Amino acid sequence: MYVPVHNRVDDPQEAWAFVKAHPFAVLCVNGPDGPVIAHVPLVVRYDEATGTHELIGHVARANPFHAAVPVEGAPCVAVFRGPDAYISPSLYPSKQIHGKVVPTWAYLAAEARGHLVVEPDPSAMRAFLEPATQDMEAAAPKPWKVDDAPADYISSLERAIVGLKIRVSALIAKRKINQGKPEADYQSVQEAFAASAHTSHQILSHEMQKESQKT
């Protein structure tokens, strides 16, 4: 992912927080016949023993994605996306002054690279299911647990999935939210997004406010 200096998230904690907040990833590996992708939620775990981050998830056993990964594992890329939006040149006050403005796109994204291994053993699936439910249910008033479902039902589901574990070697996060534009143009877009009915616009407006507070 191309990340100019002014769009790069330099704080690793902020980058990992973004991944945790947007866990639904596009996961890609190179298979025998070319790139293969899976759309899959991935949860973050920190391995104290090795001092590295891991991403954990699973796919259906019927999904051909995991068949593209050799037994020893393979390099992979996981892409995480946040809100995005088109920015019209009409939102820039400078359009009325010199006209030297063009459309662009605002977005937040992160890219994790690492080594992916597949765990096919049904008896090992708890280690892949429980972290996901713990993270996703954490804010619920009555968090659902795997053991809340009948054991035979869970056992049948465990036989229908395979686990995915990624040892992350690099994480890059990007905030492309109009940094580098004149202050008047930046403020105009932020205010227009704040007034919009679109959720993505409102979130990006908030992110633009946060960016302004850094400077």
What percentage of residues in the chain have a pLDDT greater than 90? 89
**Quick check: pTM over 0.85?**
yes
- The whole-number pLDDT of residue 215 equals 61
What DSSP letter does each residue of 152-179 carry, written as one string?
HHHHHHHTTEEEEEEEEEEEEEEEESST
From CA 105, how far away is CA 89, in angstroms rounded? Answer: 11
Torsion of CA 92, 81, 39, 126, to 10 degrees: -160
How many Cβ atoms from other residues are within 10 Å of residue 200's Cβ? 16
pLDDT digits (tens, 9 = 90+) for 156-184: 999 999 999 999 999 999 999 998 899 99
135 backbone dihedrals φ, ψ, rounded to 5°: -70, -50
- The whole-number pLDDT of residue 93 equals 95
- Assess contact for 85 and 143: CB atoms under 8 A: no
Report the pLDDT averaged over residues 125-144: 94
How many Cβ atoms from other residues are within 10 Å of residue 81's Cβ? 14
Name 69's bridge partners: none
CATH superfamily of 5-82+103-179: Electron Transport, Fmn-binding Protein; Chain A (2.30.110.10)
- The whole-number pLDDT of residue 42 equals 98
Q: Where are the domains of the chain?
A: 5-82+103-179
- The whole-number pLDDT of residue 66 equals 96
